[in-house]
Amino acid sequence: MEELVLADRPVWLLLTIAVVAIALLLVLIIKVRLHAFFSLLIIAVATGLAAGIGVADVIDVVIDGFSSTVGTVALLVGFGAVLGRLIEVTGGAQVLADKMLDTFGESRAPLALAVASLFYGFPIFLDAGFIVMLPVIYTVARRLGGSFMLYVLPSIASFMMMHALLPPHPGPTAAATVMGADIGLVVMVGLLIGLPTWYFGGYLVARAIAKRFPDTPVPALLGTPREVPAEERPSFGAILLVLLLPLVLIFFNTGLSTLEQTGTVTDENVFFQLSRLIGATPVALAISALTAMLLLYVLPRRRRGEKIGGLLEDLVDDALAPVCSIILITGAGGAFGRVLTETGIGGEVAEGLDALGLPLIVAAYVVTMAMRIAQGSATVAATTGASIMAPAVLAGDFGSVAVAAIVIAIGAASIGWSHVNDSGFWLIGRFCGFDTVTTFKTWSVVGTTISLLAFALSAVVFTIAA
């Protein structure tokens, strides 16, 4: 899309427009009860016009933001939903739930789900990993009873921490690259800060919030659950293979990409080219979904002499139908975020904050936080915050640990303060069956506590290392 020429608007007016737009959006969704898809698009167009985007350009901006968000999310959600549905209907989720409960005990089920999400969230993006974990969370919640919040919020906290603080996730990876930080050291410092952050700022906070929602039901988003007879369930090894396959493929891509950046392999290397194809997250999930179709559905039915016919096609349709609304709402959230980005509100505020003379790591957090609040995307916030702060960091002659701590602080700022312009706000909220107010009270609060604690710990590490 061509660069826009906006009508001149003072920063205070742009901020006012943004605040009013968010307030009106909440009124439309919560009070008027207009569907979030329509509400987001109406407010996105109105905000763009009020902020000075021309009538001829505003629809292009909205479409660009919508399509770029859907282009990423639709593949992840689609393949993830199919994989999750296969695990659900074949009894794989029951196998995993039984194994988990036998190993950890029923009383530790929320902790077990949270720990499993930590491992699964290391290489896989938050939304894709969470969607694949959903059938297991659903099954455990139905098996043990009580509020769905008790099981899903600790898992969400795990995915949020991993996504914000640790490479190879895009935000911390981009920030580390811009600042010239050592990726391996960022991972080490990220784990040092991230694990206590996850437990105290994520897991325990999630448990506390869950107590305030004692009657939250388990959604039926992946279809009506079916109790699969024990003899028809897949083996634990087959389920583990299906779940670990995308992790292996993504790690394959990450490892060879790192070797290519260091010059150990060239970009013409056959294995590097292959890793870029099969290790991309959407492709890795597609391969895993196809493998699950074969191992969990087709082969077992043929061994039992059952005809497949159009059953597999119906299963995929059943998996995709409920997520279409989520994809559209998420795309509309991306459109609203793009409109706010094009107005330049976030950049103006961030540069103004950078000029205040705050301590470096405080400025890095506040600048990134301003970008996060203004435009919604965690990755854009981390990348922009790092770009603004990079000259000061590079000129400061800081040690590698101190630079890694700044990267973690930027990642921490990028995951907190989520609201209606964040596509993840709508994606996770809808998959959990939460309304808008409940999403604020759960997803947004957990992300913000993780953000604040991770920043506090990164500031301690920075102070010691600097």
pLDDT digits (tens, 9 = 90+) for 165-223: 988 777 888 888 888 888 778 889 999 999 999 999 999 999 999 999 998 998 877 65
Compute the distance between CA of residue 101 and CA of residue 112 in angstroms, rounded to an integer.
8
Structure tokens given for 83: 């994989």
Compute the distance between CA of residue 189 and CA of residue 180 in angstroms, rounded to an integer.
15
Q: Is the pLDDT at 232 greater than 60, yes or no?
A: yes
Cβ neighbours of residue 357 closer than 8 Å, sequence gap 6 or more = none
Comparing 41 with 19, the larger pLDDT belongs to 41
Structure tokens given for 280: 């991309």
pLDDT band at 7 (very low <50, low <70, confident <90, very high): low
pLDDT band at 224 (very low <50, low <70, confident <90, very high): low
Residue whose structure tokens are 């995951």: 415
pTM over 0.85: no
Q: What is the reported pLDDT for 239?
A: 86
Compute the distance between CA of residue 236 and CA of residue 220 in angstroms, rounded to an integer.
24
Cβ neighbours of residue 230 closer than 8 Å, sequence gap 6 or more = none
Which CA distances in Å does 146 have to 46, 94, 141, 318?
43, 18, 7, 27
> Do 216 and 149 touch, CB atoms closer than 8 A?
yes
Where exactly are the structural domains of the chain? 69-161+220-324
Q: What is the reported pLDDT for 425?
A: 92
Q: Per-residue pLDDT averaged across 34-49, rounded?
A: 89
First to last CA, the chain: 42
For the chain, the average pLDDT equals 85
Predicted confidence (pLDDT) per residue in 414-440, tens digit: 999 999 888 889 989 988 999 999 999
Compute the distance between CA of residue 278 and CA of residue 249 in angstroms, rounded to an integer.
6
* 363-397 CB burial, b ≥16 within 10 A, e <16: bbbbbbbbbbbbbbbbbbbbbbbbebbbeebeeee
Residue whose structure tokens are 């299906």: 242
417: left (phi over 0), alpha (psi -120 to 50) or beta: left
Q: Is the pLDDT at 12 greater than 80, yes or no?
A: no
Q: Is the pLDDT at 45 greater than 90, yes or no?
A: yes
Helices 423-431 and 126-144 pack at an angle, to 10 degrees, of: 20
Q: Per-residue pLDDT averaged across 330-357, rounded?
A: 73
Residue whose structure tokens are 């043929």: 302
Count each helix (H run) and each strand (E run) in the chain, helices first: 23, 0
Q: Is the pLDDT at 163 greater than 60, yes or no?
A: yes
Peptide bond just before 229 cis, omega within 30 deg: no
Q: Is the pLDDT at 353 greater than 70, yes or no?
A: no
Comparing CA positions, the residue from 349, 366, 411, 388 lying closest to residue 178 is 388
Cβ neighbours of residue 140 closer than 8 Å, sequence gap 6 or more = 97, 100, 101, 109, 113, 151
Q: How many residues does the chain have?
A: 466
Q: Is the pLDDT at 308 greater than 70, yes or no?
A: yes
Helices 149-165 and 445-465 pack at an angle, to 10 degrees, of: 40
CB atoms closer than 10 angstroms to residue 223: 16
Residue whose structure tokens are 């995308």: 246
Give the alpha-carbon dihedral of 357, 360, 363, 364, to 10 degrees.
Answer: 150
Helices 36-50 and 55-89 pack at an angle, to 10 degrees, of: 150
Q: What angle do CA 323, 129, 364 make, to 5 degrees?
A: 110
